[in-house]
Structure 1
Amino acid sequence: MVDINIQTTISPYTQQPVCTRPLLSESELDNVIAESVKAHKSWKKVPLEERVAIAEKWLTEFENISDVACEDLSVQMGRPISQCKGEINGTIWRARHMIEIATEALAPIPQAKPEVEGVEKWILKQPLGVVAVLSPWNYPHLCLVNAVVAAILSGNAVIIKPAPQTPSPAERWVSTWQSAGLPANVLQVVHLTQERTLSQLCQDQRIDFISFTGSVPGGRAVQQAASQGKGFKGICLELGGNDPAYVREDADIKWTAENVVDGVMFNSGQSCCAIERVYVHSAIYDEFVKEFVEVAKTYKLGDPSDSKTNIGPVVSVASAARIRKQVKDAVEAGAQIVLDESHFPEAKEGTSLVGPTVLVNVNHSMELMNEETFGPVVGIMKVDNDEEALQLMNDSIYGLTASIWTNPTDPQSLAAFNHLSTELECGTVYLNKCDALDPSLPWHGWKNSGQGVSLSHLVYDAVTHKKGIMKRVEVKDVYEKK
């Protein structure tokens, strides 16, 4: 009999249980929130320089657990062990930037205009209180940086509710922050049912801000739950994508194919900003497709613990079945497969091992091209010019990222990029790059890809109250009479 009070994580590769966690009851979660409220009241009084010093020490503590953190990722979410260190290093790099900008981002902002004689004015940034972070399984460490670091440095207490697939990363964050000197209960982790997450955590009046990373339906559920609770709270939703790439006529075919394939296939395509649609100029279309397929064929699908594997399973058998159905439906609607799973011996129907798949003769009536696939699958379309590419790239309910591949040494190509980048309806535009976040830039989705901002100095605005201060000082004539 299944214990409904226990959460079990199933290995994407072996389909066997790898860990369990007790799920909190209503009263237990109530106590956690109360502890967070209490911790915030003392933490907000700690000088910013001391908070920064603890965060800097945390970087060292986190780096010290790199090996075990990599094992967690490979076992719990199925990423090839050879690629796990990249997330750990990226977490440190991303977090270090957020720590380095904290002092400036949280500093009072003097206001000189409009000038008012005898009045000094400035804007203060003060912590919200308790921040709930609902984190995903696909990049469990990197996504925690997006909101947690700024929230803690701003003086908030944070409660992390991790995805059931990857419970360990959030727990390791709590232990390493505590080792670095973070006071008890400033950062806590809870394991909850989906129902309790929505009906209690998201609706609790003591939760001041929610950061959610996940699917569009999940984001809608969180937003609705938050609106049904007492009072108002801020919310940031980092949701799905169906991100396009456009390969212009003057792009280097071999180099671009290698990079775009990586943008499609890395993490088995399980990234909100993975490339899922590719538009190629007709002048180089045939040659590009041929090169793209040859690069994709070199991938080794299999056991994530094997150092030679560079593409592992998708997260579940159910996810694999959904991906394969998208491909099947596209073929029935007229798409042609130019690289199928038969090239990869480990790929088998009914398993979570999905081989890289490339389709042509696709169009926007197909779910493959208009919905998120979240797998190692891509459709490639031919276009005749920049404007056709732009129209197709914007023809989506999503708007997370878009990439343009062209010759950066040619002034006309750069001008074309500049034009396209202003017209694309998405939060991030890349030139000759894809599937990447830079902590100095805001991470922000348009349309159904989300709302709110994480990373950059802007996230510090999201997790703080703003307070206007006006100090009238030139009143000597009043007080000198006394």
Structure 2
Amino acid sequence: MSQHLQFYIDGQWVNPSSSMTIDVIEPSTEEPFATIALGNEADVARAVAAARAAFPAYAATSRQERLAILRRVLEAYKARHDDFARTISREMGAPITLAQQQQAAKGVAHLTKMIETLERFQFENQRGTLMIAKEPIGVVGMITPWNWPINQIICKVAPALAAGCTMVLKPSEIAPLNALLLAEVMHEAGVPKGVFNLVNGDGPTVGLALARHPDVDMISFTGSTRAGILVAKAAADTVKRVHQELGGKSANIIFEDVDLRRAVEIGLQGCYRNSGQSCNAPSRMFVPSKLQDDVVAIALEAVKTYRVGAPSSHDTVLGPVASRAQFDKVQRLIESGVKEGAGLVAGGLGRPEEFNRGYYVRPTIFADVRQDMSIAQEEIFGPVLSILPYESEEEAIELANDTPYGLAAYVQSNDLARARRVAARMRAGSVYINYPAWNGEAAFGGYKQSGNGREYGEFGLDAFLELKSVVGYEAA
């Protein structure tokens, strides 16, 4: 990859309009290991112009032409799978096994699912003399995060390609190198020039320039709720579609009828996966008050198996968090948990004792957490589990929903009727009963301040389409 200091616009690598750069920091060492160019409004304008010029021809392509493009992208991606895994591991700290088996693998999963979706998707629905048509929305600005970087890029790029949209991608400047790899994949796959464009940069400059641009028809944003609000405000003047997947503070309600050890161990695993840096992590574990001591004992035993280590080691379970800013935020919230009176069961402030550098966080567990504590309300985005006791099913539901977020919820019960009843009352976009396998067809997105719109499968494809009613399509 030799284009760190360039952008991919109109089918070629181009020099930026300014000489501004930023270092990419390796979170395990706190040292820079690459430098990328920082774009500005002029670079955004150039990329948007290329996408706008390419849109009419690409929008007119057939289903079969788009399928052929997606299949070529999938094959080119598979050929670079290990490159994606190594890059993601180094730039955002994911353990190499996680990067290979989940981070990079999600790109394959989303591309494969989108090909299956496009093969059967109905773009037209005739109702007597009325034709309802679904058409590509136009030029899409995509702003993506650092925590599951290629996952969030591909779950936007793949449906946009399937819909017939053209796009400008601004990846996170914290983890931008996987996006540059994807640009190489798109070029190798022969994606028509101007259909996919990439401009690196920061949110206040490139991100907001994309959101404001009058020739961008839609913004698809994944990131924090705070940043999502700024993007929506910037987009408002041009009345474009704003599609957002934002923060979360997901509840995991465990009922007394389950295998408690299994429920707690898998719940802890879900909370800690990716060093806790998942927007749908089950970070609030609700347990019956009478069982809290048992839960704490199980969690304390399980946390000892979470080996914190270098991302390059296949033995590592928890790598560092992705940046200094994220490390400081996690430390602040751990400190608040202690000060506000939560019971510190494991972990706590500072790095694990064997590390004197790197953004490593001690895997942490709090018990006796109250609803008014910061660790129960704020998205921590680190390996920190909060255990909250409850007295009744009704109280568990009330506490689980008492959050400004609504991305995901988890329910554990051997009584499926009960689990379904509770799931129906969760104010969340996804509810997972008894730790099911990942399902690429499930609509992903949230209620409340977790965003609007949905991604994955046919729901992700629908997000990039406009509805058109053609009245009088047939003679009456």
TM-score (norm 1): 0.91
Aligned position for 2:339: 332
Distance verdict in 2 for CA 1:45–1:69, change over 3 Å:
same
Q: Secondary structure at the match of 2:468?
A: strand
1:433 Cα offset (Å): 1.5
Q: Secondary structure at the match of 1:141?
A: helix
Q: C-alpha distance in 1, partners of 2:70/2:470?
A: 29
Indicate yes or no: 2:398 matched with 1:391. Answer: yes
Gapped regions of structure 1 (runs ≥ 5): 113-119, 408-412, 476-482
Indicate yes or no: 2:146 matched with 1:144. Answer: no
Aligned position for 2:12: none
8 Å contact from structure 1 (residues 301, 346) kept in 2: no
Distance verdict in 2 for CA 1:361–1:33, change over 3 Å:
same
Task: Give the fraction of aligned pairs with identical amino acids, expressed as a percent.
Answer: 30
Alignment of 1:265-304 (within 5 A): 265-304=272-311
Match for residue 85 of structure 2 among 65, 70, 88: 70
Q: C-alpha distance in 2, partners of 1:225/1:473?
A: 42
The one-letter code matched in structure 2 to 1:87 is Q
Paired residues in the alignment total 458
Which sits farther off after the overlay, 283-292 or 248-257? 283-292
Distance verdict in 2 for CA 1:171–1:106, change over 3 Å:
farther
Match for residue 319 of structure 1 among 326, 330, 334: 326
Please list the CA deviations of residues 84-130 of structure 1 after superposition, one character each: whole Å capped at 9, or x if unmatched: 11222222122211221114334211224xxxxxxx22211111111
Aligned position for 2:433: 431
Q: Secondary structure at the match of 1:101?
A: helix
Aligned position for 1:102: 118
1:366 Cα offset (Å): 0.9
1:471 Cα offset (Å): 3.5
Distance verdict in 2 for CA 1:319–1:348, change over 3 Å:
farther
Q: Secondary structure at the match of 1:181?
A: coil
1:37 Cα offset (Å): 0.7
Gapped regions of structure 2 (runs ≥ 5): 1-17
Aligned position for 2:103: 87
The one-letter code matched in structure 2 to 1:89 is A
Q: C-alpha distance in 1, partners of 2:224/2:78?
A: 30
Match for residue 233 of structure 2 among 224, 230, 242: 224
Indicate yes or no: 2:164 matched with 1:155. Answer: yes
Q: C-alpha distance in 2, partners of 1:353/1:474?
A: 68
Q: C-alpha distance in 1, partners of 2:79/2:420?
A: 42
8 Å contact from structure 2 (residues 364, 383) kept in 1: yes
Indicate yes or no: 2:141 matched with 1:132. Answer: yes
Please list the CA deviations of residues 342-379 of structure 1 after superposition, one character each: whole Å capped at 9, or x if unmatched: 89844668851101100112101111001100000011
Q: Secondary structure at the match of 2:149?
A: coil
Aligned position for 1:117: none
Q: Secondary structure at the match of 1:305?
A: coil
Q: C-alpha distance in 2, partners of 1:318/1:344?
A: 15
Distance verdict in 2 for CA 1:323–1:345, change over 3 Å:
closer
Distance verdict in 2 for CA 1:374–1:343, change over 3 Å:
closer
Aligned position for 2:448: 447
Indicate yes or no: 2:180 matched with 1:207. Answer: no
The one-letter code matched in structure 2 to 1:432 is N
Query: Which structure 1 residue ranges, 4+ long, deviate > 6 Å from structure 2?
Result: none
Which sits farther off after the overlay, 148-157 or 171-180? 171-180
8 Å contact from structure 1 (residues 301, 347) kept in 2: no
Match for residue 65 of structure 2 among 40, 44, 50: 50
Indicate yes or no: 2:266 matched with 1:259. Answer: yes
Please list the CA deviations of residues 283-304 of structure 1 after superposition, one character each: whole Å capped at 9, or x if unmatched: 4322222111111111111211
Match for residue 389 of structure 2 among 357, 382, 400: 382
8 Å contact from structure 1 (residues 160, 188) kept in 2: yes
Q: C-alpha distance in 1, partners of 2:31/2:391?
A: 49
Q: C-alpha distance in 1, partners of 2:246/2:316?
A: 28
Q: C-alpha distance in 2, partners of 1:423/1:347?
A: 45
Distance verdict in 2 for CA 1:32–1:310, change over 3 Å:
same
Kindly name which structure, 1 or 2, has the bigger radius of gyration based on alpha carbons. 1
